[in-house]
Amino acid sequence: MASTVASYRINYSYLLNLLVFLSSFLTASSDLSFNFYAASCPVAEFLVRNTVRSASSSDPTIPGKLLRLLFHDCFVQGCDASVLIQGNSTERSDPGNASLGGFSVIERAKNAIEIFCPATVSCADIVALAARDAVEAAGGPVVEIPTGRRDGKVSVAADVRPNIIDTDFSLDKMIDAFSSKGLSIQDLVVLSGAHTIGASHCNAFDGRFKRDPKGNLELIDASLDNSYAETLMNKCSSSSSSSSLTVSNDPETSSRFDNQYYKNLEAHKGLFQTDSALMEDERTRKMVEDLASDEESFFQRWRESFVKLSMVGVRFGEDGEIRRSCSSVN
């Protein structure tokens, strides 16, 4: 009983903190609201959640893909589903987005919604809801997010590279990138916890190694645990296929959304240089240690930071549209 009461208090505290944040944010963004589609399409969130759960049950890599899709959408010109648009010189065509996945899940959810509520629910909302539901499907926290986003009408490949986080960024560069989106250093540490699920291509972290004259990999990044580095080198040994080979972001619980990511950082088993940087810098080390020791704290902070991420640069009214197909503008 005591544990149940404690859990309730934690959730109640989270709701109070979230409402305080949203009350100030939604004042300036009055077109967003919880249950935005309650009257116009009451089945919208159910259909997205059902689509995500079905896809995730048949393919355990889907949650990580959907979560990453939201990051790449929101960090480039805001959460407007511009990353979904196909065509030459669109965001989706940029090499920085070449390894993105989960597009078919978004399209399936959109198609299902269009049957019941044509021209009503934005692709931008579907992307945000799908990422939210992906975390839940992987065992993470339930998050309530406001909806009412409009879809962007423009998607430009040249906007991608200046906005996304490269895996070899220093902490200062990451802080600057997050700050430009209205996200704090705490949001940076918490949202990096997304790396507790998903997988990455070997060429995304090959800067931590070098090849000797015989073509064998050698560790050059002293911040990486030697045994973990050996595992990575064995998996990524083929120089001809480093762009196609993948490894799990979290070597311990790769398909479960939990706080293992932070425990990995403490053990110097962060896959990317950006991961290791969080443990090496005194500005973020204490936050990593706190999240590693308390999963409920991580979940509570994740809810808050995820809502903030999902509201970056949202579009309203004539600044956007409701696409009929998520892969093309109307």
**221 labelled binding-site residue:** no
Torsion sign over Cα 55, 57, 58, 60: positive
Q: Is 196 annotated as a binding residue?
A: yes
258 is in an annotated binding site: yes
* Locus of tokens 């995500």: 52
Query: What is the Cα gyration radius of the chain?
Result: 20
C-alpha 283/C-alpha 186 separation (Å) is: 10
Beta-carbon contacts of residue 186 (< 8 Å; ≥ 6 apart): 287, 301, 305
Label residue 5 exposed, middle or buried (CB < 10 Å: 0-12, 13-18, 19+). Answer: exposed
Known catalytic residue at 72? yes
Listed residue (142, 137, 145) closest to 51, CA to CA: 137
Distance CA 215, CA 197 (A): 30
- HSE, CB side, 13 Å, CA atoms: give it for residue 39: 1
Candidates 49, 65, 68, 72; catalytic one: 72
Joined together, the tokens standing for residue 6 give: 């404690």
Q: Is 76 annotated as a binding residue?
A: yes
Q: Are 282 and 288 in contact (CB under 8 A)?
A: no
Give the list of residues 6+ apart from residue 298 with CB closer than 8 angstroms, or none. Answer: 190, 193, 259, 262, 291
Instruction: Say if residue 195 carries a ligand binding annotation.
Output: yes
Q: What is the C-alpha separation between 34 and 50, in angstroms, rounded?
A: 19
276 is in an annotated binding site: no
Instruction: Check whether 80 is labelled as a binding-site residue.
Output: yes
**Per-residue b/e over 312-329, b at no fewer than 16 CB within 10 Å?**
bbbbeeeebbbbeebbee
Residue 237 DSSP one-character state: -
Which residues, 6 or more positions from 209, have their beta carbon under 8 angstroms from its beta carbon?
A: 217, 218, 219, 220, 221, 229, 232, 233, 236
**Residues annotated in a binding site:** 73, 76, 78, 80, 82, 91, 195-196, 250, 253, 258
Catalytic residues, by residue number, are: 72
| Binding residue ranges for Ca(2+) | 73, 76, 78, 80, 82, 91, 196, 250, 253, 258
